[in-house]
């Protein structure tokens, strides 16, 4: 793996527990560990440096909910954490940074309030904000993927790139949790048209899938269910870091 390429395990949180959903459907919730901090320490223990934490309760409630879990992980590990889910107000984003997030992923709020996210980029620095550009059939999804918009993903990213944003995460919701491989064609198109530092998410099921995202120029990859279901071992990940 190239030095810039980031291996980023995901911890999704509901009721303080480490869970995974399939295609964003809360009814498919599967609990993998009652203690997210324990999971984070396992990642750190094999040399992983980055962590993607999603407050699924927050995404549903439209305000930050699981900041205490974030604070526990940030306090008891040295992982570089990007945090998303429920960031809707300046109070929410300040709580997240105060709780130990290194970067904030803005998804739904980036759709509904471009001016506010632009303000956050000025206040905290554009490098502190990651654009959450999750989509289904190339249309941006919001509110924990429960709502589909009419906004095309590429113009959405381009709009923020024009004002200085350089990092985006894109999950193809149709692929998420299915372990059937990432949306390579989609990511290739996004990278070629936006020149954004794109982190791929959704569908990763093997080391070969990880390599495929790097080969097309992604800046990193988020891995969730493949780890928890044993498709990719922590030992395999440790060799990529």
**Residue 147 clears pLDDT 90, i.e. is over it:** no
Is 98 a domain residue? yes
Is 218 a domain residue? yes
Is 234 a domain residue? yes
Task: Supply the range of the domain harboring residue 38.
Answer: 6-240
**Residue 56 clears pLDDT 90, i.e. is over it:** yes
The string of DSSP codes covering 171-210 is EBTTTTTS-S---HHHHHHHHHHH--EEEEES---SHHHH
Is 76 a domain residue? yes
Residue 72, Cα to own-chain centre: how many angstroms? 19
Lowest mean pLDDT among 93-107, 143-157, 200-214, 218-232: 143-157
Compute the distance between CA of residue 223 and CA of residue 206 in angstroms, rounded to an integer: 10
Find the mean pLDDT for residues 20-31. Answer: 89
Contact between 172 and 143 under an 8 Å Cβ cutoff? The reply is no
In total, the chain counts a number of residues equal to 241
Find the mean pLDDT for residues 92-107. Answer: 97
State residue 223's pLDDT score. 97
Kindly report the average pLDDT of the chain as a whole number: 94
State residue 148's pLDDT score. 81
Q: pLDDT tens digits, residue range 180-225?
A: 999 999 999 999 999 999 999 999 999 999 999 999 999 999 999 9
> Residue 208: which CATH number?
3.20.20.70
Lowest mean pLDDT among 35-39, 108-112, 140-144: 140-144
Is 206 a domain residue? yes
Contact between 167 and 128 under an 8 Å Cβ cutoff? The reply is no
Is 161 a domain residue? yes
What is residue 70's three-state secondary structure? Answer: helix
State residue 3's pLDDT score. 65
**Banded model confidence at residue 145, pLDDT cuts 50, 70, 90:** low
Find the mean pLDDT for residues 20-39. Answer: 92
**Residue 47 clears pLDDT 70, i.e. is over it:** yes
Running DSSP on this structure, what letter comes out for residue 138?
T
Is 1 a domain residue? no
Catalogue the active-site residues. Answer: 12, 134
Q: Give the total number of structural domains in the chain.
A: 1
Is 33 a domain residue? yes
């Amino acid at each position: 793996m190239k030095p810039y390429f980031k291996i980023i395990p995901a911890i999704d949180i509901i009721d303080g527990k480490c869970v995974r959903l399939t295609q964003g459907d809360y009814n498919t919730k599967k609990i993998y560990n009652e203690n997210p901090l324990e999971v984070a320490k396992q990642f750190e223990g094999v040399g992983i440096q980055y962590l993607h934490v999603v407050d699924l309760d927050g995404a549903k409630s439209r305000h930050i909910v699981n900041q205490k879990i974030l604070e526990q992980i940030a306090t008891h590990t040295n992982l570089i954490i990007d945090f998303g889910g429920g960031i809707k107000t300046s109070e929410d984003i300040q709580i997240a940074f105060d709780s130990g997030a290194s970067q904030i992923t803005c998804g739904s709020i980036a759709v509904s309030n471009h001016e506010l996210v632009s303000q956050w980029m000025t206040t905290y620095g554009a490098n502190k904000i990651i654009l959450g550009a999750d989509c289904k059939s190339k249309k941006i999804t919001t509110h924990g993927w429960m709502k589909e918009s009419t906004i095309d993903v590429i113009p959405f990213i381009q709009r923020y790139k024009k004002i200085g944003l350089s990092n985006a995460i894109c999950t193809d919701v149709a692929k998420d949790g299915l372990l059937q491989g990432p949306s390579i064609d989609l990511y290739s198109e996004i990278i070629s048209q936006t020149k954004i530092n794109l982190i791929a998410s959704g569908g990763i099921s093997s080391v070969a899938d990880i390599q495929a995202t790097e080969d097309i120029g992604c800046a990193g990859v988020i891995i969730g269910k493949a780890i928890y279901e044993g498709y990719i071992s922590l030992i395999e990940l440790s060799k990529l870091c």
